[in-house]
Structure 1
């Protein structure tokens, strides 16, 4: 007997949506599978996914909806209806997908059914109320510290479309996204439960540190000096007394891993490595002092100081590129460790970037922060998408 083709199965309509309260912020998706002939609701899916952007949440909703349809009939044809023009245009092949997270999710979506079995249609938000309701139910459940259940519906179906403001999504395409709510500073709003706290530790000193040389991720990978090892032991002793760190994540570079392993041994924890926490690639400047760079590459240095989009000589990373990379790592870690205190062992630029983003400060503020080797900085992230800078360049434990 020949296997069933996709002309032999049923036809389903998948409606999907996703949302983020903060963009990025606490996020969730919803998806519903309907019978195309009768309009009957066959399956619902919804999930709180932690901190993410609107676009990532919408893609997660699409994947969940397609997988639900496949559970019902793997030979079906599917008509996807979404109010995200970005997702519809990208999945239809008319727009490029440049953002790594969305590219991976788009690949997941394409792998559920053969491409010829799925079509995409944009619909107004008002016609996507069911999926929107499910996404809001998922976010409501996440706010309470739980997950969506079809037996516990809390969102209103006919609340009307949310206020929107034009914005550019992480893929560089213009799309209407929910306007960021005007919320009070952390500590003045409602009780949102314990925040996720990132304790940001700049690695201990290396032989290059006292010479103030550029030391990035593209050149040598120096080890800690004896002074740096002593700083790591001092941090470990201080954090052991406090007893608040619940997980440790490190940059892959040697100076960070050595610092992290010293602390981990004292606290009895394991070290997870995240590539997103590595230092800037300073290109041809790596190993040079500021004076040497100014002498050899004066024009490039001037551009770098003037614009976050400028790259160091020789194909290094711009501050804008580092900010995008660090933001992805931040969101991933916030989703992994909700409500916990995590020690991130990293470098000058990632620490300054996380502090800058928490404050909503402009890129030039990077040049106005001082970070000592072995110093601690702390940022708390709340469930409503707010962040609070609690500590910057603390070195009391080293004295």
Structure 2
């Protein structure tokens, strides 16, 4: 390997914890960016740890394996942990004491500037995810992880790639000195042209990005769902013919495929956990008392925090000013190491005289008000707030947040009416749609907002993390 420089290596890494914290393991793979072949694999069961610690351990293992192969290569790290990617890229501050030494160690493996970081959806990180799960399975059985691909095969692949790199370097030197024949010059020109965005005359250009290891080219990939939700399958297309460049797919909104909408602002919508009023289905808005989370509600908030930490995609947290939401938001923030910003416009509707009553009690005491409220979004409970008024203030918050957080993922901790309103507006549904949605305590929903004003509802009322 001495004297031969591989131009680039790809490291894919992942880690997981069955319990967070719980039995944990990591996996990492070093890939040849041209062929997509695995050059090295690493995995280990690390005992009881959090998801984030396991992910950092996977990163360390991947970088070390890459350095053993080629200490002079540039390395592109791809992970589905937004937390690790943003922290190692220097865009997020590292606050958790368990993360700081791991991040510092990762930064020392290669010289500064030699490693770059890229977030990828979980469905594109399957190799490393599989290795992490194999390591956790092995630990549960009281044994050490063993490579699923034989060490001899990996060594042979690595040796061949190094040999190809040496041959390529020799051809390049020959071309520069005029000693290369026409075929050799063409072989040198192809990759250089691909890196600059073009192809050599008479020579099919290779894909500018690393080809997928499968026989299909990924189509538009939906953003990874919140942990616990059913995965959204990526569309696939037939493999390209030999020599054809793989064209990256453009994200689409609905059925259309705009040229470039950029990364959307994504709202992960978390309804607060239960209060004493929730199981009794009593009206609990912003016009009555301000109940706190019940013991069940606190457990629900912890479960939601664990699910969101496992995904690692949340970058900001905003909350309604109501106590039950602030308690829920702070539970998540403590797990993610983030701050909480209060948005007054996210408060629940004011139900006026109905506060603390059940639907049946309202029907008995305020029948005319109830009929009007069910018939028109402009009608309000006695002394309360109409859905039309709630919609105006929630839309104003939405517009501020989408402008402020374009391309980022924001956890929005709020109530039934604001969440249903955001979903209704995203769908372009009529006001009566508010009465046709179920929204459980501590449930997760998600909406993506694009720069052209379009929105895409990605998730609604997910409670899988509460089971």
Please state which band the TM-score falls in when normalised by the shorter chain: 0.5 to 0.7
Corresponding position: 1:202 with 2:271? yes
Corresponding position: 1:247 with 2:297? no
Give the 3 Å change call, closer, same or farther, for CA 210–244 of structure 1 in structure 2.
Answer: same
SS of match in other structure, 1:213: coil
Corresponding position: 1:394 with 2:458? no
Aligned to 1:299: 368
Aligned to 1:273: 342
Trace 1:301-380 onto structure 2 (pairs within 5 A): 301-313=370-382, 315-380=383-448
SS of match in other structure, 2:442: coil
Once the two structures are superposed, what CA deviation does each residue of 1:325-354 show, in whole Å capped at 9, x if it has no partner?
Answer: 100011111121111000000000000000
Q: Which runs of 5+ in 2 are unaligned?
A: 1-251
Q: CA deviation at 1:190?
A: 2.4
Give the 3 Å change call, closer, same or farther, for CA 201–186 of structure 1 in structure 2.
Answer: farther
Q: Please give the TM-score of this superposition, normalised by the length of structure 1.
A: 0.53
Once the two structures are superposed, what CA deviation does each residue of 1:347-399 show, in whole Å capped at 9, x if it has no partner?
Answer: 00000000000000000000000000000010000111100000000001111
Once the two structures are superposed, what CA deviation does each residue of 1:75-126 show, in whole Å capped at 9, x if it has no partner?
Answer: xxxxxxxxxxxxxxxxxxxxxxxxxxxxxxxxxxxxxxxxxxxxxxxxxxxx
Higher strand share: 1
Once the two structures are superposed, what CA deviation does each residue of 1:158-181 show, in whole Å capped at 9, x if it has no partner?
Answer: xxxxxxxxxxxxxxxxxxxxxxxx
Q: Given the alignment, which residue of 449, 463, 467 partners 1:381?
A: 449
Trace 1:117-132 onto structure 2 (pairs within 5 A): none
SS of match in other structure, 1:374: coil
- Shift >6 Å, 4+ stretches: none
Q: Please give the TM-score of this superposition, normalised by the length of structure 2.
A: 0.46
Contact kept, 8 Å, 1:218 with 1:283, in 2: the verdict is: yes
Over the residues paired in the alignment, what is the CA RMSD in angstroms?
1.2
Give the 3 Å change call, closer, same or farther, for CA 184–380 of structure 1 in structure 2.
Answer: closer
Aligned to 2:327: 258
Contact kept, 8 Å, 1:198 with 1:341, in 2: the verdict is: yes
Which structure's relative contact order is higher, taking Cα pairs within 8 Å and 6+ residues apart?
1
SS of match in other structure, 1:309: coil
Q: Which runs of 5+ in 1 are unaligned?
A: 1-182
SS of match in other structure, 1:205: coil
Q: CA deviation at 1:274?
A: 0.2
Task: Specify the structure having the higher radius of gyration (Cα).
Answer: 2
Whole-Å separation in 2 of the counterparts to 1:192 and 1:337: 14
Contact kept, 8 Å, 1:200 with 1:346, in 2: the verdict is: yes
Contact kept, 8 Å, 1:186 with 1:388, in 2: the verdict is: no
Number of equivalenced pairs: 216
Contact kept, 8 Å, 1:186 with 1:386, in 2: the verdict is: no
Trace 1:206-221 onto structure 2 (pairs within 5 A): 206-221=275-290
SS of match in other structure, 2:364: helix
Q: CA deviation at 1:193?
A: 1.4
Contact kept, 8 Å, 2:253 with 2:455, in 1: the verdict is: no
Whole-Å separation in 2 of the counterparts to 1:195 and 1:186: 16
Contact kept, 8 Å, 2:330 with 2:340, in 1: the verdict is: yes
Whole-Å separation in 2 of the counterparts to 1:365 and 1:270: 33
